[in-house]
Amino acid sequence: MPTFHRVFGLQLQATRPIPGLVALPSAPPAQASDLSVWLGSMPPGLRGMKAAQKVRYVSPYHDERGEPNMRVWALNDGAYVRLYYSDGTDFVVDRQGRNVWATWAASATLEDTATYLLGPILGFVLRLRGVVCLHASAIAVGDRVVAVLGPGGAGKSTTAAAFAQRGHAVLSDDVLALSDQADGILAQPAYPRIRLWPSSVETLYGSLDALPRLTPSWDKRYLNLTADGYQFEQQPLPLAAIYILAARSTDPLAPLVETEPAQCALVSLVTNSYVNYLLDQEMRAREFELLTRIIARVPIRRLTPHADAARLQRLCDVILADFEALTSSVS
């Protein structure tokens, strides 16, 4: 029997439960699903499509064997896109972003596959469907959203987890899907997990064993936002501020926050849009249009954390104080 989930504003139907997602208590009405995920199978006729596949992207990063971490091809004149990882995990997505097929190596697990699926694969699906995504975490402050943006390793997830410890609901970790509405930009809920590197777990909880592994083969951990004492925000909320994480500093005044000039803000948002390496010309034009509107509507701030992880709670204080000042000046 299929299972049903809600993620990034999409109604998702899968051939088996997806680790990290919460199954809906009952099946939605027929034809209600936005996306079907076929785990353990590929689309019919794939072998013939592979013969005519056209290279779309090759990752500049390589594994220990010297193989590109990821390769992407267009299949059947662009009707499908194949995304292949060097560990043998293989995805195919149709052009409309309505179907995803996935297979993986015998040495891998469904949990391993889900780490790709819930990140770059669904990020690409969203882009195909016209949804702009940022490489950001999103935290609810009252009935509005604060986004913390930055590249991998900048501290987005760690900051979100620190806010979760303080009782704030979290909407998303790493991928922030944005919905353009007449009355503002809405942030869409992702799924109730925050992925954390071991060093962040030790900073936040004092022990690596405080949180479970994300997969049996990877030392990255996750915070379950459905656990007692934590909150996952399940409703879309308006985006009210974006904080761009700068490089950590030893300045005794850090953490510091300042206004990001509009011209710099656009570059930062474009640079930190999600799966931007897979965008075609139409997707880039749509992204540029929305990000330009975001800059006109939403305060963009540059946030410089302190290099000392012990000042993480101070970083949260600075964000909250600055956000309160921003919203007070608007009202």
Question: How far is 91 from 113, CA to CA, in rounded Å?
Answer: 9
Domains located in the chain, CATH noted:
3-128 (no CATH), 132-330 (3.40.50.300)
Residue 196: burial class (beta carbons within 10 Å; 0-12, 13-18, 19+): buried
C-beta pairs of 160-166 under 8 Å, 24+ apart in sequence: 160/194, 161/194, 161/196, 161/200, 161/204, 161/223, 162/204, 162/312, 162/313, 162/315, 162/316, 163/139, 163/316, 164/139, 164/194, 164/223, 164/225, 164/230, 164/231, 165/204, 166/313, 166/316
What's the confidence (pLDDT) of residue 277?
94
Question: How far is 300 from 241, CA to CA, in rounded Å?
Answer: 6
Asked if the model's pLDDT at residue 28 lies above 80, the reply is: no
What would the DSSP string read from start to end of 229-240? T--B--S-EEEE
Question: How far is 165 from 26, CA to CA, in rounded Å?
Answer: 31
User: What Rg value do the Cα atoms of the chain yield, rounded?
Assistant: 20
DSSP 130: T
Strands 35-39 and 10-14: parallel
Question: How far is 157 from 298, CA to CA, in rounded Å?
Answer: 21
What's the confidence (pLDDT) of residue 234?
95
Helix ranges, 131-171 (H): 156-165
Question: How far is 157 from 148, CA to CA, in rounded Å?
Answer: 9
What type of residue sits at position 114?
A
CA 253 to chain centre: 31
Query: What are 144-176's pLDDT values in tens digits?
Result: 999 999 988 889 999 999 999 999 999 999 999
What's the confidence (pLDDT) of residue 290?
94
For the segment 301-309, the average pLDDT, to the nearest whole number, is: 95
Query: What are 78-109's pLDDT values in tens digits?
Result: 999 999 999 999 999 999 999 999 999 999 99
Among 20-29, 183-192, 234-243, 301-310, the minimum mean pLDDT is found in 20-29
Question: How far is 184 from 45, CA to CA, in rounded Å?
Answer: 43
pLDDT band at 29 (very low <50, low <70, confident <90, very high): low
